[in-house]
Amino acid sequence: MLKLYDSPECPFCQKTRIVLAEKDLSYELVPVDLQAGEQKRPEFIKLNPFGKVPVLIDDEVIVYDSTIINEYLEDEYPHPQLMPSDSAARARVRTFEDYADNAFIPLTGTIMRELRKPEAERDQEKLTTSRQQVARMLAVIDGSLAGRNWLVGNFSLADVAFAPRIVILPALGVTVDPEWRNLASWIQRLNQRASVHDLTGLSAWRAA
């Protein structure tokens, strides 16, 4: 039985939940209260020495870091395929995922942290700059999507990595340039997938 240590709003946990849903895998969800510091307790540190969610347990196997978990799930449960077969395309998926994990998600996280504050306490300059930086990233993604439905070949781990934050862009106050038609239709396609559409932990941002 698969077990996922999870925090609902964590975009990295959301990446893994999308993959579990795409592969129609049943699993036990173990909520970790990050505010209470449960991820730094000795019993959790035994699972992940970095003290972070998500952690996946598959019988005896313990895997942490969403990107590694998602590749593990792909290796162990290969259907439906979420990684292309050829090396060049696989490298491209990993490049997109790295960009999502280390640039796109942290930047959208900065915006979310500001927006959680009472309006008077928000750093407006930081918000404006971060939104502009996200917009520049979106322009790049729009270019990458020219002539294709998904970032690399079929729907893949590359699309998964961006999905949790891409589908809440309106709530982040990021303006999507109407000229970015590839991006707009990709967002629509992402929202139509049950794995993304039914993703929990986003309700506050979807409704905003």
Ligand X SMILES: N[C@@H](CCC(=O)N[C@@H](CS)C(=O)NCC(=O)O)C(=O)O
Contact positions vs ligand X (CB under 6 A) = 7, 10, 12, 34, 39, 51-54, 65-67, 101
CB atoms within 10 A of CB 27: 17
Residues in the chain: 208
Give whichever of 67 and 130 is closer to ligand X, judged by the CB atom.
Answer: 67
Give whichever of 14 and 142 is closer to ligand X, judged by the CB atom.
Answer: 14
Give whichever of 40 and 181 is closer to ligand X, judged by the CB atom.
Answer: 40
Residue 121, both tokens: 């306490």
Active site residue 13: no
User: What is the smallest separation between the CB atom of 64 and ligand X, expressed in angstroms?
Assistant: 6
User: What is the smallest separation between the CB atom of 34 and ligand X, expressed in angstroms?
Assistant: 5
User: What is the smallest separation between the CB atom of 25 and ligand X, expressed in angstroms?
Assistant: 18
Q: Which candidate in 4, 5, 6, 10 is catalytic?
A: 10
Catalytically annotated residues: 10
